[in-house]
Structure 1
């Protein structure tokens, strides 16, 4: 079984540090008028957010500026999370990850829109570093979020030496994008109402199971391992 956690809004909250760091990066590279107005971030891939930012700010040839933006974003995110510690590990995440890692037949990984370097900065700031996860599908690994589950499944094969069926993959996330990418490939999905969307909204979007948070570790673990019928809480 492969369990894949989203990062922002599912594992942790940075309370806006990521958006502010992207804004810092844009203003360093393109001037003080660089704006984030009207840009949607929830559940989206960082490279796609950059493309939207480039279009919004009239920056031509976004691809040629992408690496510079990515490097500056990393710098400012690290600075913000170091100088003003504010990252919050969400309730129940640590005991759930640790319990899943204790299951011999379970592989725990990440499926996230973050760049690998900035995702790992956030995890470290939350006190749950990347070493808790055996693999990851990052936002820079594929053109859309729907393309990330196959990336994670291929990495499972590289780590475990065998294949995993889609129905044995579970994605845990806080947005309809997480639900969509799971259901598109026939994976199961738990929606967690710790981001911008409620558990009810995520269940309506198609989640197999929906919770306000992950704090009831034994109940969540029981559902994951026993694969019950869909239910909303």
Structure 2
């Protein structure tokens, strides 16, 4: 059984700054911040790291209680923000996932920096959720490499997968590439986010495509 671990934002879909709008609304509405400081780097990070940094930037104690409050409020606000901001599924994604879903020797999962709840919300909004068997999110790990290792341990415990045993990571950032290399997976980079081919190759991607629109080529590489 081969396991494919897909990133979400910038790999499968884009959401027109939905997350930024939702997080800003939470800081204002739930934490009373009049003019939220949103000067953080979003790409390739886990929400655990991102939310903790936003709390500190806005002079809010980054306690466990405040983190739990932030995650709950963010998950509640995101559906409305998705409706307001919209977005799109990136080229080739639906066709590729449909073809992969017909294979009984392929397991499609999500490994993302998003919280698991917000990952489900995004995938559900864009009608992609049913293509995936499970989601590994950034609820607990500030470091993407720790997320990758936790995911690999789960796959080993539940399915008997060994590290690097038929596992492929697909993502659009150097952080996604590092995740895959951390668990000795094959890694595919796509240039549908903020990083070009050269950057993803330098990060260590084994295969890079401009996007997923060349479904035959991508499918063949993922299933070889």
TM-score bin (small chain): over 0.9
Q: Secondary structure at the match of 1:33?
A: coil
Q: Secondary structure at the match of 1:110?
A: strand
The residue that corresponds to 1:224 in the other structure is 222
Counterpart mapping for 1:165-180 below 5 A = 165-180=163-178
**Aligned counterpart for 2:202 among listed residues 195, 201, 204:** 204
Instruction: Note the aligned Cα RMSD (angstroms).
Output: 1.7
The residue that corresponds to 2:133 in the other structure is 134
Report deviation, 1:127: 2.0
5+ unaligned residues in a row in structure 2: which ranges?
none
The residue that corresponds to 2:11 in the other structure is 10
Counterpart mapping for 1:28-177 below 5 A = 28=29, 29-37=31-39, 39-82=40-83, 84=84, 86-129=86-129, 131-157=130-156, 161-177=159-175
Instruction: Say if 2:33 and 2:58, in contact at 8 Å, map to a contact too.
Output: no
The size of the alignment, in residue pairs, is 222
Report deviation, 1:178: 0.3
Instruction: Say if 1:182 and 1:189, in contact at 8 Å, map to a contact too.
Output: yes
Q: TM-score, normalised by structure 2?
A: 0.92
CA separation of 1:157 and 1:185: change in aligned 2, threshold 3 A? closer
Q: TM-score, normalised by structure 1?
A: 0.89
Instruction: Say if 2:17 and 2:85, in contact at 8 Å, map to a contact too.
Output: no
Report deviation, 1:141: 4.1
